[in-house]
């Protein structure tokens, strides 16, 4: 399908921890091709990148956000909440990037996916306060504590929906998908420990649940090289970003050669 223009196009950013820096590389490539989707949906790290994109942040500002936001800080450890890190301690850090703290102040329509732990349901936020839904969407258990909103506790959007296509699909004629929870071939030596086995099976389950949605998009970015980057490895930020950009250029060059977008 031919790219219809910003108002009728959308983009979905998956969860995936540090691998989500590849989303930023994809955004850089899209901007170089003058592609500007106006509907945005994201889960976990994809929600954070999506909110920065929706706020018209530069690529440098996006990378700075993730480099400067600590994953672990001793005075952020939780004492009375479930989870090792108190997610609420990040609120002030987020305010410096989203000072208006409002969905309505963003330049693009944004949907943030989170998980309602009490009801066992996915939830989408698209209006009102912005920061607490963002904190909730990225609150990966058991590392980060759930975020209280109203009468419920909310946690990582990827628990229930790692690729939240649903909220923007009705509004878009053309949907771009950026998935960083990639699955590639691995050797038996890479599944030798219990941790490796858990990581592999979890990744397979997440991908299987979202595969059909990912490949229903009109344009898909899925850099296979990302599987070598650890989900919580902050040393992989620049590498993941570069992988996303290089992959984005290749996909867009190929798409343009085929007459789209």
Catalytic option among 41, 43, 44, 181: 44
d(CA 112, CA 125): 5
Which helix (H) or strand (E) is 48 found in, with range?
A: helix 45-54
Residues 114 and 157: beta-carbon distance below 8 Å: yes
**Would you state the structure tokens that stand for residue 151, as one six-digit string?**
């009468």
d(CA 247, CA 72): 30
d(CA 246, CA 69): 25
Whether 156 sits among the annotated catalytic residues: the reply is yes
- Measured CA distances, 127 to 106, 124, 131 (Å): 10, 10, 11
- Which residue, chain included where needed, has tokens 């090289």? 225
- Beta-carbon contacts of 109 under 8 Å, excluding residues fewer than 6 positions away, are 38, 39, 40, 54, 126, 168, 171
Catalytic option among 156, 178, 181, 218: 156
Cα atoms in the 13 Å half-sphere on the side-chain side of 159: 20
The angle, 0 to 180 degrees and rounded to 10, between the axes of the packed helices 237-257 and 59-68 is: 150
Whether 44 sits among the annotated catalytic residues: the reply is yes
Residues 46 and 12: beta-carbon distance below 8 Å: yes
d(CA 104, CA 146): 24
Residues annotated as part of the active site: 44, 156
């Amino acid at each position: 399908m031919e790219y219809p223009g910003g108002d009728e196009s959308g983009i979905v950013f998956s969860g995936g921890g540090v691998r989500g820096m590849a989303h930023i590389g994809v955004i850089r490539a899209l901007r170089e091709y003058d592609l500007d989707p106006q509907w945005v949906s994201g889960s976990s790290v994809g929600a954070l990148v999506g909110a920065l994109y929706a706020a018209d942040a530069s690529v440098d500002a996006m990378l700075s956000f993730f480099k400067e936001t600590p994953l672990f800080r001793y005075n952020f450890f939780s004492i009375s909440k479930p989870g090792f890190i108190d997610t609420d301690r990040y609120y002030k850090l987020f305010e410096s990037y989203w000072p208006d703290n409002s969905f309505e102040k963003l330049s693009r329509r944004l949907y943030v996916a989170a998980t309602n732990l009490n009801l066992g349901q996915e939830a989408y936020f698209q209006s009102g306060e912005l920061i607490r839904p963002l904190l909730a969407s990225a609150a990966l258990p058991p590392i980060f504590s759930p975020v209280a909103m109203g009468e419920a506790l909310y946690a990582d959007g990827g628990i229930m929906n790692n690729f939240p296509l649903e909220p923007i699909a009705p509004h878009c004629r053309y949907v771009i998908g950026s998935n960083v929870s990639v699955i590639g071939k691995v050797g038996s030596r890479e599944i030798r420990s219990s941790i490796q086995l858990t990581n592999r099976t979890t990744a397979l389950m997440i991908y299987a649940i979202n595969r059909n949605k990912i490949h229903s998009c009109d344009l898909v970015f899925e850099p296979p090289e990302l599987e070598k980057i650890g989900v919580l490895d902050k040393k992989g930020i620049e590498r993941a970003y570069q992988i996303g950009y290089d992959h984005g250029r290749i996909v867009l060059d190929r798409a343009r050669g085929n007459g789209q977008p």
